[in-house]
């Protein structure tokens, strides 16, 4: 079964925490953004460089989604004027998940 719409994904297992996390982080873009932010706060251009092949629009949308979910925060500075993204405590809790995925990938893929 291919899930095509957001509603189909939500209807799959509405009370399941695994399904909820997969709904938020189930695409590689979101996971890679979290991976990059684990080391240090990043500016948009740094994330764009690291995530070659992801369109500006997709990156913008994923950052907004992760911010809405409380995984990342957008920090605005005035001098010099810039915006940086960093993980919240909720986002930092994904460190073990990312490490487990890295270990699995090195061992089995």
Q: Which domains does the chain have, with CATH numbers?
A: 17-103 (1.10.10.10)
Q: How does residue 28 score in pLDDT terms, banded at 50, 70 and 90?
A: confident
75-88 b/e with 16+ CB inside 10 Å = b? eeeeeeeeebbebe
4-8, 67-71, 101-105: segment of lowest average pLDDT = 4-8
DSSP, collapsed to helix, strand or coil, labels residue 108 as: helix
Q: How does residue 3 score in pLDDT terms, banded at 50, 70 and 90?
A: low
CA separation for the pair 44, 25 (Å, rounded)? 19
User: What per-residue confidence (pLDDT) applies to 83?
Assistant: 95
Q: How does residue 94 score in pLDDT terms, banded at 50, 70 and 90?
A: very high
Average pLDDT over the chain, rounded to whole? 89
């Amino acid at each position: 079964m291919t899930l095509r719409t957001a509603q189909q994904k939500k209807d799959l297992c509405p009370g399941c925490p695994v399904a909820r996390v997969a709904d938020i982080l189930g695409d590689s873009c979101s996971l890679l953004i979290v991976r990059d932010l684990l080391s240090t706060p990043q500016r948009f251009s740094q994330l764009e460089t690291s995530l070659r092949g992801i369109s500006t629009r997709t990156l913008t949308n994923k950052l907004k989604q992760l911010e809405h979910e409380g995984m990342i925060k957008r920090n605005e500075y005035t001098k010099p004027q810039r915006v940086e993204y960093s993980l919240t405590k909720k986002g930092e809790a994904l460190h073990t998940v990312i490490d487990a995925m890295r270990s699995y990938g090195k061992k089995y893929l």
